[in-house]
Amino acid sequence: MRHFARKSLLGLLMTGLVGCTGSIGSSSTGTGGKSTGTGGSASTGTGGSPSTGSGGTSSGTAGSSGGTLGGVSVTCAPGIPATTQLRRMLNRQYDATVRDLLGVTSVGTGATAGLPSTLLYADFAGPMVPDAWRIYQDVGAQIAKAVMASATLKANFISCDPAASGCLAQTIQTFGRKAFRRPLTTDEVTRFQALGQGTPAGTPAEVAEATLLAFLVSPSFLYLPELNTTPDPSGTGIQLSSYEVATRLSFMLWGSVPDATLSTAANNNQLQAKDQILAQAQRMIAVRAQTAPLVSSFHDHWVQMDNSAQHWWKISHDPTAFPLYTSTAKTSFQSELDNFFAEVAYTNGTFKDLFLSTIGFVNTDNAAIYGLDPSKYSTTLTKVQLDATQRPGFMTRAGFLSSYSHYTDTAPILRGAFMTIYMVGVDPGPPIAGATMLTAPPGNYTTNRQKTDALVNMAPSCMGCHTNLINPFGYALENFDAIGKWQTVDQLGGTIDATATVSLGNGNTQQITSVQQLMQQIAQVPKAQQTYAQYWVAYAYGRDPNPNDQCVADQISTSLSQDGYPILNILADLTQADSFRLRVLGTP
C-alpha cells in the first residue's frame, strides 16, 4: 500500500471517524462485582470459550456450596456481575476471526511465517496501550496486503471490481456487517467511503486495501462492544441486543465471528429469549470442527497446561534409560490429549470419563509406550481403545506422565502434588524453604518409592503433607515409568509397589490397589466436580470467579454429580444464565 493509504487511514482514525461510542462505567443498576474498566480485555487469566443440553438459570441460593479457584473461596450470591462494555478480542480469537473472515491463517513468509497472533502484543487486561495499538496496525497492514495480493483471499473481502461504481460502498456494507458483527450505520459507511476521497488520490486497489485495513484496526472490530441500553423488562439489568448476544455466543463457542445462520437470527431479532439462544447454541455445538478446539483448549487450561509454574512439556528424559523417548514427541503428546478431551466430550462423555475413558490416540511416537506395535501406525494419530486396567483417563497418557517425571526416573511428588492440588482440590501449601533442593541420602534403594520416602524423612516438618497428602497419589502411579510406559519392575531393580492410602478431602481416605481404582475415586470427589464447574464458568465467561457466577457454577456442579450428565451439556447451560443475555453497569 502506498503512503497515501496509510496516511489517509491514520488521519481518519486519529479524528475518531472509525470507532465505537458509548457510555462506559455508569453507576451500577444491579448486584455484581467491580467493573473491569473502560475498555479492558475480558480476560484476566481465565481465557474465553464455550455451550448443548438442558439449561439452568443464574438464579441460586445465597450461601450455597460455593467453590474455590486459585485459593479464593466464593459463595453464591444471586445477581448479574458487572462487566466492561468494551471487551477486547483475545489473540486466539483474532487468529480465528481473520481466518474465518478472510481465509488468512499466517502472516510473514518462509521461516518467519506464523499465526497473526504470534506478532501481536500478549493478551492483557486494561485499556489499549501504545505498543499494542501500533502492532495491531502493523499486523493489520500485513493482512490487508496479503489479501489484496491473492485472488482467492481477495474474494473473501471484495467480490467486485474496486473501480466499478458502487463496488466499494457495497463491500463496506457487506464486509462491515461481518467484521463488526452488526450492520454499519449510514455515518460509518460514509466515513469508510471517505478513504477514497483523500489527497493524493489512490488507485481503486489501494483504496480497497486501505478500506480493509481500516476495518482491521477499528475498535468496533478489535473490541466486542456491548452498548445497548434497553432495560430488561424484569428490571434485572440491561438487555443485550440480538447482535450482541450473537457475538457472545459465537466468541464463547467458536472463538470467532457469527456464521450466516446466527447473523440472520440476529438480523431478525431472534436472540432475546432463552429458548432462542439455546437453539442456536445447540446447533453451533453440534459443529464439532468449530467447537471442539475450544473444548480442548478449556481442558488444557483446566489441567494447567497454560500455567507457567507447572511442568507440562518442560521435562526431557535420558534416551539411554528410555530408548522409546524422543524429544520431538512432545507436540504429538499434546495433540493426543487435545484429541482425547474432544473425543470424550463428543462421544457423550461425562466428567467421570475424563478420568476413566480408555480412548487413546496413537502414532509412532507413543505406540510402543502403550505396548502397541509402532510398525502398524504412522505419524498421524489414530483412535484406539487402550487397556482399561492400565490406561483410564488423561493422567495415564504419555503427555501427563512424561511431563510429571524427572530426567532419569519417575516423580511421585510432582505427580502427587498435581493430583492433590488440581484434581482433588486440597492445597497443602508451598514447600518449606530449601526443601526443593534436597536430595535423597545415599542408600541401597531398589525402588524410586523407597528413595522418595528417604528424601521426605530427611525433613520431618515436610512429612505431614507428603506422607499423608501428596506422595500417596504419586505412588499409585509408580507402575508408569518416566515416559509413561507400564512397568512392574522399577528402574532400580525392585518390584513396583503401587498401593497407597490417599486422602480425598473432608476426612475421606481410601486404600488404593490399582490405577483404575484411583481414577474412579478422584472422579467422585465433590470438590473435584465443583472446581471443574468453576473453571468452566470462568473460562467461558472470560472473567474471574465471583459470587454471581458462582450460582451458575453451583448448578453445573450439581449436574456433574449426577451420572450421565454429558460435558457438552455444560456449554448450553452456560448460555441459559441470566448473565449471558443481560448486563449491569459497574462503577468506574
pLDDT tens-digit map of 328-344: 999 999 999 999 999 99
In 111-185, where does DSSP find H-type helix? 130-149, 151-157, 167-179
d(CA 498, CA 412): 11
Task: Count the helix, strand and coil residues of the chain and give each as a percent rounded to the nearest 5.
Answer: 45, 10, 45
pLDDT at 427: 86
pLDDT class of 66 with cuts at 50, 70, 90: low
pLDDT class of 67 with cuts at 50, 70, 90: low
Q: Which of 555, 569, 533, 580 is nearest to 52 (CA)?
A: 569
Q: How many CB atoms lie within 10 A of CB 567?
A: 25
Task: Work out the average pLDDT over 376-396.
Answer: 97
Q: Which of 401, 496, 498, 499 is nearest to 447 (CA)?
A: 496
d(CA 193, CA 227): 24
pLDDT at 424: 96
pLDDT at 31: 33
Report the relative pairing of strands 238-239 and 359-362 from DSSP bridges. Answer: unpaired
pLDDT at 74: 87
Pair 38, 125: CB distance under 8 Å: no
pLDDT tens-digit map of 4-60: 444 444 444 433 333 333 322 223 333 333 333 333 333 333 333 323 333 333 333
Pair 584, 370: CB distance under 8 Å: no
Total-model pTM: 0.87
Task: Work out the average pLDDT over 291-313.
Answer: 96
pLDDT at 156: 98
Task: Work out the average pLDDT over 142-164.
Answer: 96
In 505-546, where does DSSP find H-type helix? 515-523, 526-541
pLDDT at 4: 43
Task: Work out the average pLDDT over 551-557.
Answer: 97
pLDDT at 434: 65
d(CA 581, CA 54): 17
Burial of 373 (0-12, 13-18, 19+ CB in 10 A): exposed
pLDDT at 402: 98
Residue found under cell 479524528:
15
Task: Work out the average pLDDT over 442-454.
Answer: 95
The more confident residue out of 494 and 38 is: 494
Residue 152 has pLDDT above 80, yes or no: yes
Residue 104 has pLDDT above 80, yes or no: yes
Inter-CA distances, 235 with 22, 84, 232, 269, 584, Å: 21, 20, 5, 20, 10
The more confident residue out of 465 and 472 is: 472
Encoded amino acid at 133, one letter: W
pLDDT at 72: 61
In 166-227, where does DSSP find H-type helix? 167-179, 186-193, 204-216, 219-222
User: Which parts of 248-379 are beta strand (E)?
Assistant: 359-362
pLDDT tens-digit map of 171-210: 999 999 999 999 999 999 999 999 878 778 889 999 999 9
Cα distance from N-terminal residue to C-terminal residue, the chain = 41
Inter-CA distances, 160 with 98, 208, 408, 542, 559, Å: 20, 11, 63, 39, 52
Residue 95 has pLDDT above 70, yes or no: yes
User: Phi, psi (5° rounding) for residue 511?
Assistant: -80, 120
Q: Which of 87, 35, 43 is nearest to 223 (CA)?
A: 87
d(CA 184, CA 175): 10
* C-alpha cell of residue 375: 510398525
> H/E/C letters for each residue in 359-381?
EEEECCCCCHHHCCCHHHCCCCC
The overall longest dimension of the chain from CA atoms, in Å, is 87
Residue 588 has pLDDT above 60, yes or no: no
* C-alpha cell of residue 571: 456449554
Pair 272, 575: CB distance under 8 Å: no
pLDDT tens-digit map of 237-251: 999 999 999 999 999
Pair 573, 13: CB distance under 8 Å: no
d(CA 122, CA 124): 6
Task: Work out the average pLDDT over 119-127.
Answer: 92
The torsion defined by the Cα of 28, 29, 31 and 35, in degrees rounded to 10, comes to -30
* C-alpha cell of residue 331: 507436540
The number of CA neighbours under 13 Å toward the Cβ of 319 is: 4
Label residue 6 left, alpha or beta by phi (over 0 means left) and psi (-120 to 50 means alpha): alpha
User: Phi, psi (5° rounding) for residue 414?
Assistant: -65, -45
pLDDT at 48: 33
Q: What is the pLDDT of the chain when averaged over all its residues? A: 87
Residue found under cell 528424601:
455
Pair 403, 303: CB distance under 8 Å: no
pLDDT class of 234 with cuts at 50, 70, 90: confident
Residue 73 has pLDDT above 90, yes or no: no
Residue found under cell 468506574:
588
Residue 388 has pLDDT above 70, yes or no: yes
pLDDT at 460: 79
The more confident residue out of 436 and 229 is: 229
* C-alpha cell of residue 15: 479524528
Percent of all residues in the chain with a pLDDT value above 70, rounded to a whole number: 87
Percent of all residues in the chain with a pLDDT value above 90, rounded to a whole number: 77
Residue 578 has pLDDT above 50, yes or no: yes
